[in-house]
Amino acid sequence: MHLILFIVFAGLCLAGAMNLLLQTHPINSALSLVVVMTSLAVLYLLLGAEFLAIAQIIVYAGAIMVLFTFVVMLLNAGREERTLGSRAGKMIGFPAVAVFLGVIATVILKAQNLGSVALSDPITSTEDLSRVLFHELLLPFEVTSVLILVAILGAVALARAGSGERRVSK
């Protein structure tokens, strides 16, 4: 059953990612990103990481996507025009991706004991994780929230500055 669920949600995640890239309207791309993030949350559940799954839904599929959608609507982005891309990008990009995938494949194939877990490894509880997040890492946690607030205010300022129509006198 786990294998079937994994295949379904991994396929849904890949389909959402491809749809994200192929959409011309930014709102449709944002909705495709919600599908990807929700599928990842289900994959986390299948791995037994309930805290990460809930955090994925609340933080990414919820808060971050609301922020993305807010910025896209505030900037009033319309349809994007399609281009064929640059010739230099294709000549350099495709070989670079092939080399990158080759390096990753080599590292994975050469790795010893990749993904092996012993039964004696300690299991971190949600209480331990929250203690680390809200005691030891409280400052970076709060700095991140301030940065997100600054990003929202910047988007509002940019949208406000561009919303007024300037009249050209002849």
Distance separating alpha carbons of residues 32 and 15, to the nearest angstrom: 9
Per-residue pLDDT reduced to its tens digit, 63-86? 888 888 877 777 776 666 667 777
Q: pLDDT: is 53 or 155 the higher one?
A: 53
Q: Is a pLDDT exceeding 70 seen at residue 49?
A: yes
Confirm if 38 and 62 have CB atoms less than 8 A apart: no
**For the whole prediction, is pTM greater than 0.75?**
no
Distance separating alpha carbons of residues 87 and 85, to the nearest angstrom: 7
Q: Is a pLDDT exceeding 80 seen at residue 155?
A: no
Place of tokens 């007024």: 164
Q: Is a pLDDT exceeding 60 seen at residue 148?
A: yes
Three-class DSSP category at 100: helix
Q: Is 117 exposed, middle or buried (0-12, 13-18, 19+ CB in 10 A)?
A: exposed
Three-class DSSP category at 26: helix
